[in-house]
Amino acid sequence: MTPIIETHLLNKKYGETHALQDVSIKIPAGTIGLLGPNGAGKSTFIKCLLQLENKTSGSVSLLGMNIDEKGRETRTRIGYAPEQDCHIPGMIGSEYVTYCGELSGLPFEDARQRAHEMLDFVGMGQERYRKVDTYSTGMKQRVKIAQALVHDPDLVFLDEPTNGLDPNGQAMVLDLITRIWKESGISVILSSHLLHDVDRVCERIVIISQGELLVHDELAHLKQQRRPEVELLLVDEPAILYEAFDRLQWKWEKLNNGKVKVVHGQNSLNPLLSLLDETGVAPLGISASPNALNELFLKALDKGPSK
């Protein structure tokens, strides 16, 4: 299968800021989360792919087409909902989405029909006949998604689509993302600084940190990977348990937070639970180590914005 996005040594500099550094990636179709803290380079990555910003160096192909040769053609097959508002002041919702369809090359009648279908799809009712300026943040986000889908693209970029939404609004937008892929077969790149958003709806994850590609993997794969260790909160000093750890050659140590960390080295917690049962030790708490996805995300947060 042709990757929907393929970059080779993609670089973008804004003056002294190296916003993207040697990003080489091949992304297959599906729902993909583009994750990283604010300032990591996510928007720059999207803008360079869409030629809204000129890349400094490197090559990019979208849907199998090199953007330097076929930029215009690729963009007719791509939708984009930017992070900031992009509506035209004074226009009513349905007019605006129809107009975006016409800008993408659809004849007026087709654009109008598709606009209403997409406004239905994103759950907009009679509000579509009101001026977009009067919309709530949630409605504005949904209209932005409708305009990104109006020309029936193969790939859509949604930049921070849950920003500013309450939990209900967030859930609604995330649900839409799943449906865009499952019902329409349109691949979605969801850019977000929230692990929760990406975790909920994406099959793959790309983490960018300080302009560099930190990880690209299937979400399920990353979530399966855990360091085989746990932290136990114990009532008093259960010598019998410590002796059992030593006998099994499980490394253990007392941590500053009062817990005991034990490296049990197993894929499952069952051997540890059996051991607790055998020794008659009932811990107050057992916390498994975070999975690789959480750890990588924390690492990305640690690094902060690109320099």
Residues that bind ligand ADP (CB under 6 A): 14, 17, 19, 36, 38-44, 305-306
Q: How far is the CB of 96 from ligand ADP (least distance, A)?
A: 25
Q: How far is the CB of 55 from ligand ADP (least distance, A)?
A: 13
Residues 6 or more apart whose Cβ sits within 8 Å of residue 184: 149, 152
Cα-Cα-Cα-Cα torsion 118, 124, 129, 133, nearest 10 degrees, comes to -100
Element at 239 (helix H, strand E): helix 239-248
Residue (127 or 159) nearer to ligand ADP, CB: 159
- Give the separation between CA 291 and CA 9, rounded to whole angstroms: 29
Q: How far is the CB of 33 from ligand ADP (least distance, A)?
A: 13
Residue (24 or 287) nearer to ligand ADP, CB: 24
Residue (127 or 199) nearer to ligand ADP, CB: 199
Residue (201 or 208) nearer to ligand ADP, CB: 208
Classify residue 257 as left (phi > 0), alpha (psi -120 to 50) or beta: alpha
> Would you state the structure tokens that stand for residue 226, as one six-digit string?
């855990």
> Would you state the structure tokens that stand for residue 216, as one six-digit string?
């690209």
Classify residue 58 as left (phi > 0), alpha (psi -120 to 50) or beta: left
Strand order in the sheet with 285-288: 251-254, 260-263, 229-233, 285-288
According to DSSP, the residues that pair with 251 across neighbouring strands are: 263
Q: How far is the CB of 291 from ligand ADP (least distance, A)?
A: 23
Q: How far is the CB of 214 from ligand ADP (least distance, A)?
A: 12
Residue-level length of the chain: 307
Residue (232 or 296) nearer to ligand ADP, CB: 296
Residue (173 or 276) nearer to ligand ADP, CB: 173
Q: How far is the CB of 210 from ligand ADP (least distance, A)?
A: 9
Q: How far is the CB of 278 from ligand ADP (least distance, A)?
A: 50
Classify residue 55 as left (phi > 0), alpha (psi -120 to 50) or beta: beta
Residue (39 or 271) nearer to ligand ADP, CB: 39
